[in-house]
A and B are shown apart, each in its own frame.
Chain A
Amino acid sequence: MKFFKNEKNLKIILKLLGDFLFCLLLFFFFAMMAESLLPTIVSRYISIYLLVVVITLDIFLISFLQKKLEIENSTLLNKKIAGIALAMGTIFILNSVLRFGIVLSLFLTLISVVAIYFLYQILEEDKI
């Protein structure tokens, strides 16, 4: 189709997909937060799996269009997203182990966060 061959249109779509991903992640964060506090409060109405599928599709589309338009990822944004994801993960891990007592919970969370950080560093090294 002519519309999708126009580079200007593709750039607009790519930017919109990025915004859409931001909205989805924001919703996903609050949904997971609510769901971890009170199971089924969100999943009763919306399938979390479906949300993950939509997010994955959005990421695939973004990566496909980036390749097509030969645009590189913004490393600044990647670092920001990684930071937000780590903060989210820390909260979720802490919440899930909270019933083991506060000291053990903090210890388990710390160990998990350190492990995730090193894993991230290894992945970054592999890229180089």
Chain B
Amino acid sequence: MLDLTPEIKLEKEAQKQYLCWRNFLFIAFFLGAIYFVYIVLFPTAYFNFPFLTRSSSNNTFISPHKNDYSFPLKGEIEGKEPLFFETTLLGNYSEVEVEFKFSKKSELLEKGQLSLRKGYRSFFYPEAETTETLFEKDANGRQSGDLVSYGDAVYVISKNFIHPIDSVETFSAHGYSWDDLQKVSPDIVSGYEKERLFVLNSFHPDGTIFLSDSGKYYLVDNFKKKIISPAALSYLPKRNPILVSEKSLEIEESCELKKSRFFRRSFFCAMPLEKFSELLGSDFQFKADFEKAVRVDEIKVRFRREFSLKSLKGTLSQIIFLTKKNYTR
């Protein structure tokens, strides 16, 4: 038997006691290690948004909004008005659970529903009238929505602004193509006002062109998506449009909010994510209907992976991909 401290001699009775405790320690360690491997292989993604500390850096949530994209101050939602919120997530997850914590000053729910869609956040913009005009080229010969690069940095142009894209994941998750990158001189980059980083959960900028799987072209403009008329199609920018699934707007999952067994002011709801696996885009848009005026203190979202071979294969292939990327960078 492996004795790591042979220099310490014990009497027979003490040795028995020690072995008993040692077995307990090794079993606890073994179970802990198994649990750790489990949470690595079947991870849970957490997002939360406390309304009272809206600008806290700990908020891992996209800002909740009303129908008109305005923020519900202090989490106050008027009756019959839906609340929208979005999360961006890469990887395949099998279930999502959402928890609402209502303020002490709020009435409690009698009935409430939560629905979910998946796609690109900007593709969920309300549809506007058909447009015949597109964004024109600016003084630098670029159009809003163009991708440019200087050195290792990649930027996306949005009217007079330029956003540095933070990572390869962000670039790919937004459906951009490397073929559309235009190498430019530093003068061109400095010709625009530098804006904040373009991150995983950023909206596609104005001027973005979407092409749906049903063949429709859309233009993103001022929180709206406009169908591009057939006459204007010949003026489309030379870059590839962002491919979107038209079904992102139709496929929905929903669930009834239920009161928590333990906390009086918490309401839960869980939904499977199977329906969304084939859809393009990595943004999940939640829509909550509370049916009465309420005040929400906090929203918590947990995405889980099911304990299955398929899920395990997914995680392992992601780990292998990221490891390879780590070594080929």
Residues of A bordering B, CB below 8 Å? 8, 11-12, 14-16, 18-20, 22-23, 27, 37-39, 41-42, 45-46, 69, 71-74, 77, 98-99
Q: Contacts A15-B18, A16-B22, A38-B323: A27 and B33 contacting too (C-beta < 8 A)? A: yes
In the assembly, what is the distance between CA of A39 and CA of B11, in Å?
A: 47
In contact, B8 and A72 (Cβ under 8 angstroms): no
Q: Contacts A20-B25, A45-B36: A71 and B8 contacting too (C-beta < 8 A)? A: yes
In the assembly, what is the distance between CA of A98 and CA of B328, in Å?
A: 10
- Starting from the known contacts A38-B322, A46-B36, A77-B5, 20 additional A-B residue pairs (CB-CB under 8 Å) come to A8-B14, A15-B5, A16-B18, A16-B21, A16-B22, A19-B22, A19-B26, A22-B4, A37-B323, A38-B319, A38-B326, A41-B319, A42-B40, A45-B36, A45-B39, A45-B40, A74-B5, A74-B6, A98-B327, A99-B327
Looking at the complex, which one of A12, A16, A37 makes contact with B326 (CB distance below 8 Å)? A37
B30 to chain A: closest residue by CB: A23
B29 at the A interface (CB under 8 A): yes
In the assembly, what is the distance between CA of A46 and CA of B10, in Å?
A: 35
B22 / chain A contacts, CB cutoff of 8 Å: 15-16, 19
In contact, A14 and B8 (Cβ under 8 angstroms): yes
What are 15 residue pairs bridging A and B, where the CB atoms are less than 8 Å apart in the complex? A8-B11, A12-B17, A15-B4, A15-B5, A15-B8, A18-B4, A19-B4, A20-B25, A22-B4, A23-B26, A23-B29, A27-B29, A71-B8, A73-B7, A74-B7
A75 to chain B: closest residue by CB: B7
In the assembly, what is the distance between CA of A18 and CA of B5, in Å?
A: 7
Most buried by B among A20, A38, A98: A38
In contact, B319 and A72 (Cβ under 8 angstroms): no
A72 / chain B contacts, CB cutoff of 8 Å: 7
In the assembly, what is the distance between CA of A73 and CA of B7, in Å?
A: 8
Nearest-neighbour CB distance to chain A for B17, whole angstroms, equals 6
B4 to chain A: closest residue by CB: A18
A45 / chain B contacts, CB cutoff of 8 Å: 36, 39-40
Nearest-neighbour CB distance to chain A for B304, whole angstroms, equals 15
A77 / chain B contacts, CB cutoff of 8 Å: 4-5
In the assembly, what is the distance between CA of A99 and CA of B327, in Å?
A: 7
Q: Contacts A18-B5, A46-B36: A8 and B326 contacting too (C-beta < 8 A)? A: no
In contact, A41 and B10 (Cβ under 8 angstroms): no
A-facing residues in B1-60 (Cβ within 8 Å): 4-8, 10-11, 14, 17-18, 21-22, 25-26, 29, 33, 36, 39-40
Most buried by B among A8, A39, A73: A8
A15 / chain B contacts, CB cutoff of 8 Å: 4-5, 8, 10, 18, 22
A-facing residues in B271-329 (Cβ within 8 Å): 319, 322-323, 326-327, 329
In the assembly, what is the distance between CA of A104 and CA of B18, in Å?
A: 49
In the assembly, what is the distance between CA of A71 and CA of B9, in Å?
A: 10
B29 to chain A: closest residue by CB: A23
B322 / chain A contacts, CB cutoff of 8 Å: 38
In contact, A39 and B326 (Cβ under 8 angstroms): yes
B11 / chain A contacts, CB cutoff of 8 Å: 8
A45 to chain B: closest residue by CB: B39
A18 / chain B contacts, CB cutoff of 8 Å: 4-5
In the assembly, what is the distance between CA of A12 and CA of B323, in Å?
A: 43
Looking at the complex, which one of B5, B25, B36, B323 makes contact with A14 (CB distance below 8 Å)? B5
Nearest-neighbour CB distance to chain A for B298, whole angstroms, equals 23
In contact, B14 and A12 (Cβ under 8 angstroms): yes
Q: Contacts A41-B40, A74-B7: A12 and B25 contacting too (C-beta < 8 A)? A: no
In the assembly, what is the distance between CA of A73 and CA of B22, in Å?
A: 20
Most buried by B among A12, A45, A46, A99: A12
In the assembly, what is the distance between CA of A14 and CA of B7, in Å?
A: 11
In the assembly, what is the distance between CA of A72 and CA of B7, in Å?
A: 8
